[in-house]
């Protein structure tokens, strides 16, 4: 088994390598003057079980092309098996046709990864479960809920928890976290989205007065939904509001919006390599998923159960 990483999230790749007690495979990933990407594997990988560590986060298209070219280079170097490890799977929000004459880009990207030569995919908290079916190769979808629940228990052990979904579509995710927190009660924020990037909170479904509310979501982009939800929860009498999100995309003025919001804290995993950006915020904190990914990688290499990680 060998690990190789692109340039999208070097700190996470190095942390995974430390947990696996393996060095990262030496490779040169560089660009020509016209920004063409060139990859050269600097070690023998013939017959190896290769794991490519690369989030397809900002800049999405550059990191996606890096991933595809690394996979192609490994395939042509006679690697025995290639697993694409995508802590964050970009284009996941384009998983259906929202209107006529629009693409399903998540399926297109799945096809690209498969055709490049990947034999398996490993990701974390896909935006929608059906994305696993977009791949014609084995796909493991890990969940950050165990990491989040452990952090909640250690930091807020004596609080009156209530798990809150920021929209109706996230109820399944909220219920999964609730079960890990001794079946904490659930609430739902009912919102109406007028246009992409904007959201208007309508009402709260559930009794949140006096509760320590934990908002749970898979992606935070502009942070408008989370901040509006936090404000609505506080208006409804919530004692405190914290948010736990798997993937911190955090574009535009998201950090300023979070810092000026009713949120006590926003906790995101390190699936996206934006460490320097979030260091500027007083309310955003990283939670590492390196041990989770490292354990899953070891189990795949050993041909043992991955699903038992979440039992």
Q: Which are the catalytic amino acids? A: 191
Is 193 annotated to bind a ligand? Reply is: yes
**What DSSP state is assigned to residue 8?**
S
144 is in an annotated binding site: no
Q: Which of 110, 123, 107, 106 is nearest to 52 (CA)?
A: 123
- The C-alpha torsion from 292 through 294 and 283 to 266, rounded to 10°, is -30
C-alpha 142/C-alpha 217 separation (Å) is 15
CA distance 250 to 214: 19
**Residue 34 is labelled as binding a ligand:** yes
Query: Is 265 annotated to bind ligand?
Result: no
Cα first-last separation, the chain: 26
Cα angle at 138 between 38 and 97, to 5 degrees? 80
Which residue, chain included where needed, has tokens 């041909």? 303
Ligand-binding site membership of 96 (annotated): no
21 assigned to a ligand binding site: no
287 φ, ψ to 5°? -130, 120
Q: Is 127 annotated as a binding residue?
A: yes
- Which of these, 108, 164, 102, lies nearest to 131 by C-alpha position? 108
Torsion of CA 255, 88, 174, 93, to 10 degrees: 90
Alpha-carbon Rg for the chain, nearest whole angstrom, is: 20
253 is in an annotated binding site: no
- 311 labelled as ligand-binding? no
Output the CA torsion sign for 96, 199, 151, 88: positive
167 annotated as a binding-site residue: yes
Binding residues for D-ribose 5-phosphate: 193, 217, 221-225
Annotated binding site: 34-36, 93-94, 127, 167, 193, 217, 221-225
Which residue positions form the known binding site for Mg(2+)? 127, 167
């Amino acid at each position: 088994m060998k690990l190789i990483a692109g340039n999208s999230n070097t700190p996470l790749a190095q942390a995974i390598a430390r947990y696996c007690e393996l060095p990262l495979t030496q490779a040169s990933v560089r660009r020509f003057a016209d920004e063409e990407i060139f990859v050269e594997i600097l070690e023998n990988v013939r017959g190896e079980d290769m794991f490519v560590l690369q989030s397809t986060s900002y800049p999405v298209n550059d990191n996606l092309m890096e991933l595809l070219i690394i996979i192609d280079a490994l395939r042509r170097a006679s690697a025995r098996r290639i697993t694409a490890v995508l802590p964050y799977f970009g284009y996941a929000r384009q998983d259906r046709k929202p209107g006529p004459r629009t693409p399903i880009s998540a399926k297109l990207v799945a096809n690209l990864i498969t055709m490049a030569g990947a034999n398996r995919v490993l990701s974390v908290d896909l935006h929608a479960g059906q994305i696993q079916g977009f791949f014609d190769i084995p796909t493991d979808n890990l969940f950050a809920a165990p990491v989040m629940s452990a952090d909640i228990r250690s930091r807020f052990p004596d609080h009156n928890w209530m798990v809150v979904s920021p929209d109706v579509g996230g109820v399944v995710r909220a219920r999964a976290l609730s079960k890990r927190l001794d079946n904490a009660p659930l609430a739902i924020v009912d919102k109406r989205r007028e246009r992409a990037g904007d959201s208007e909170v309508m009402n709260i479904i559930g009794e949140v007065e006096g509760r320590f509310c934990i908002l749970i979501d898979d992606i935070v982009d502009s942070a408008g939904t989370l901040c509006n939800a936090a404000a609505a929860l506080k208006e409804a009498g919530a004692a405190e509001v914290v948010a736990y999100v798997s993937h911190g995309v955090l574009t535009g003025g998201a950090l300023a919006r979070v810092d000026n919001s009713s949120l006590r804290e926003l906790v995101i995993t390190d699936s996206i390599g934006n460490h320097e950006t979030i260091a500027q915020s007083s309310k955003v904190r990283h939670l590492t998923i390196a041990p989770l990914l490292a354990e899953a990688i070891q189990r795949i290499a050993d041909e043992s159960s991955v699903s038992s990680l979440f039992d």
